[in-house]
Structure 1
Amino acid sequence: MDVYFGFVVLEGILAVAIITINLLVCATVYLHKELRCITNYLIVCLAVADLGVGALAIPFSMVLSMEYILCFYTCLFLTCFPLVTTQFSILLLLVIAINAHLKIKLPNSYAMHMKKGWMGIAVAFCWLLSLLIGLSPMMGWNRFQQYVETGNKTVAFNIPSERVAFVIIAHDLPYGGFLSKIYPGQENFNYSEIHREHMGLCSFTSIFSPEYLVYFIFFTCTLLPLAAMLGIYADLFRVVRGHFQSQALWPSKRRELQMARTLFLLVGVFCLCWVPLHVIYSVQLLCPDCQHYESLNRLAVLLSHVNSLANPLVYALRKKDFGLALRSVFLHRVLQWPRLKACSCPSAKVHPQA
């Protein structure tokens, strides 16, 4: 129980920090017109996805970590939403990489043809593809039969009260009426009162098969976009190095190169935060008899959520103009600190005594 409590407290603090910093990013770009460029608009879209992580995905993760007895369709929704936000972050990082590559490699064509409308279409396509990937379990790619069978065997015994905090029952429509009945936690309850065919212990792995998490989510939807991003940045740095190796780097190009390095760092932070969790799923698939540590799984989940906090911090620290604007909004708009004004009044004259 102490592990659960500590995990929930850390997740709650992290959620508040994620919501605060990403709201500041959105407000900073809105209030400072000089920051309104295509790259920063993409960063704002990334901040919106991170807001979804802080506001919804982390609370859902808290529920999943407790393995409450829930209706299958309620648990399915709780587990699918984090997939949508994660996949959108991956695809948006790929769009950001392509945008940086075009901006540096083809500056004339980029300035002539690249408009905000095209980026809006790209972002909308990322959302659509993320919804299709993240909600694919709702279309049948799930473990409904195993979920119900395991739930029937588990609920037949006395379950600790901390695991049976509440039971949510779905009536009539399979995806409707999630909150129609709530049963308070107790050590023994009459299971005949609830719909036996839809109940089970809700967790991330109880909904998704290991093959789905590893082969589809990790190998196909995560590693392939990340490999494409690494290839794009490698080619970008090769072009910049070869083109400017024999001449001084122009200030404008130096800024673009610095931006590319910052965006590449965002990709590195994403890999650092998310790969450990996927590695754990891969080990569980390839070695089902190996000993698994619940605390290690929770630490990997917590690290994956840290990515939503690290994105705006990395961008603000690496881009001085953005960081100064973010700091100004926080100090003067949020904390209401007065702005320091330079004294423009003439110096006081010393009058001789009469």
Structure 2
Amino acid sequence: MSSGRSPSDVAYIGMEVLIAVSSVLGNLMVVCAVVLNRSLRDTTFYFIVSLAVADVAVGALVIPLAILIHVGMETYFYSCLLGVCVVLVLTQGSIMALLAIAIDRYLRVKIPMSYKQVVTPRRVGMAVVLCWLVSFIVGLTPMLGWNRQQPTNGSLSDSGGGGSNLITCRFENVISMDYMVYFNFFGWVLPPLLLMMLLYVEIFYMIHRQLNKKITVNYSDTRRRPYYGKELKLAKLLVLVLFLFTVSWLPLHILNCVTLFYPDCVKPNEAIMVAIVLTHANSAVNPIVYVFHINKFRTACRKIWDRYILCKDPVGQLPQKGSQRGWSPEGRLRPFNQNTIDLGTLIQSKFEG
């Protein structure tokens, strides 16, 4: 392993460090915004928090590991395999969270009247646990034997030294491409992505059908357009999140398919680095998307930034429905005075009448 680094290596490591910092800070902001702001405690945002937790782990764990792998870290086979499996678990966790979000939005549009009876907080919690359980099973499968360990000597040919168990930790040195392509990609990445696309097509169809209905004077009809208009706006945002995830991860999976089906094909090292950076960059993009498209989320993030990062003395806390905490004394008195005046005016009008 040479001590000198090429310009492409330096650029790769610099990009990874920048993405790691952005991913951790941005997604921690997402989690804090939902935890501290009651108006964001919606079922969809619970799944968004699950997605953000996976993205925080990408910035804090996966990217540092990717840098160590890139510089040629030598370690034991199963230590390297465990690190790679962590990446697979977190990737699958992101996919399952996106699928849960799509199903949640579908139910919200399909059964708006009975949605709250069907999608209860307890069921949402169970869904989050189930998503992560599936992710751990899929991601840790190589640890159970579906890997590239040689049964004869327990190490790969590039481990150096017949009696040494140390190997150069590389993704392709420990992970079977059969597992990555047939089981992971064709089994647990592509089908959920296709299902999500079908769900969002159906969501847009149902929303447009409701919005194009002839409006009557019924009370339910007057409330229908604002409700479905809001659903349409959020559905567009979530489709953007899904699109960015797909664009970020497909290049790496395509390279894995090339490795399996065309083993003699030489893949440029720069193409591999770009594909890896794209997968990691996706973890830092989602908070930016939320800030630009969700007003309540943008307000909550700004207040968190001012209070906890810039240490400004806030006039009030995060917006809470039905809460008067953090108001100034004048703010506390104002509703009381207004109610008193309104009551006096009402009494006076009664007497005059």
**For this structure pair, what is the TM-score category when the shorter chain's length is used for normalisation?**
0.7 to 0.9
Say if 2:155 and 2:166, in contact at 8 Å, map to a contact too.
no
What residue identity is the alignment partner of 1:227? L
Residue in 1 that maps onto 2:181 = 214
What residue identity is the alignment partner of 2:77? F
User: Does the alignment pair 1:258 with 2:226?
Assistant: no
Q: 1:334 aligns with which of 287, 297, 309?
A: 309
Residue in 2 that maps onto 1:69 = 74
What residue identity is the alignment partner of 1:120? G
Residue in 1 that maps onto 2:114 = 109
What secondary structure, in the 3-state scheme, does the structure 1 residue paired with 2:263 have? coil
Say if 1:147 and 1:207, in contact at 8 Å, map to a contact too.
no
Q: Displacement, 1:135?
A: 0.3
What residue identity is the alignment partner of 1:199? L
Q: Displacement, 1:302?
A: 0.6
User: Does the alignment pair 1:239 with 2:211?
Assistant: no
Q: TM-score, normalised by structure 1?
A: 0.81
- 1:157-236 alignment, distance < 5 Å: 195-196=163-164, 198-236=165-203
Say if 2:149 and 2:155, in contact at 8 Å, map to a contact too.
no
Residues 255-293 of structure 1 show CA distances to partners (whole Å, capped at 9, x for unaligned) of 111111111111101001101111111122222222211
Say if 2:159 and 2:166, in contact at 8 Å, map to a contact too.
no
Residue in 2 that maps onto 1:86 = 91
Residue in 1 that maps onto 2:40 = 35
Q: Displacement, 1:339?
A: 4.8
- 1:313-324 alignment, distance < 5 Å: 313-324=288-299
User: Does the alignment pair 1:286 with 2:261?
Assistant: yes
Say if 2:21 and 2:59, in contact at 8 Å, map to a contact too.
yes
Say if 2:160 and 2:167, in contact at 8 Å, map to a contact too.
yes
User: Does the alignment pair 1:155 with 2:130?
Assistant: no
Distance 1:112 1:65, change over 3 A: same
Q: 2:274 aligns with which of 285, 299, 303?
A: 299
Distance 1:205 1:155 in 2: 17
Residue in 2 that maps onto 1:189 = none
What residue identity is the alignment partner of 2:271? L
Residue in 2 that maps onto 1:95 = 100
Q: Displacement, 1:149?
A: 7.5
What residue identity is the alignment partner of 2:146? W
Distance 1:280 1:146, change over 3 A: farther
Q: TM-score, normalised by structure 2?
A: 0.81
Q: Displacement, 1:129?
A: 0.6
What residue identity is the alignment partner of 2:93? F
Say if 1:91 and 1:126, in contact at 8 Å, map to a contact too.
yes
Q: Displacement, 1:148?
A: 5.8
Distance 1:330 1:143, change over 3 A: same
Residue in 2 that maps onto 1:160 = none
Distance 1:304 1:229, change over 3 A: same
Residues 169-216 of structure 1 show CA distances to partners (whole Å, capped at 9, x for unaligned) of xxxxxxxxxxxxxxxxxxxxxxx8xx52x3222111111122221121
Say if 1:22 and 1:47, in contact at 8 Å, map to a contact too.
yes
What secondary structure, in the 3-state scheme, does the structure 2 residue paired with 1:70 have? strand
Residue in 1 that maps onto 2:139 = 134
Aligned CA RMSD, in angstroms, stands at: 2.2
Distance 1:63 1:146, change over 3 A: farther
Q: Displacement, 1:298?
A: 0.9
Distance 1:139 1:318, change over 3 A: same
Aligned residues: 306
User: Which segments of 5 or more consecutive residues in structure 1 lack a partner in the other structure?
Assistant: 157-191, 345-354
After alignment, is 277-286 or 332-341 more displaced? 332-341
User: Does the alignment pair 1:19 with 2:47?
Assistant: no
After alignment, is 144-153 or 267-276 more displaced? 144-153
After alignment, is 296-305 or 68-77 more displaced? 68-77
Q: State percent identity of aligned pairs.
A: 35
User: Does the alignment pair 1:309 with 2:284?
Assistant: yes
After alignment, is 245-254 or 324-333 more displaced? 245-254
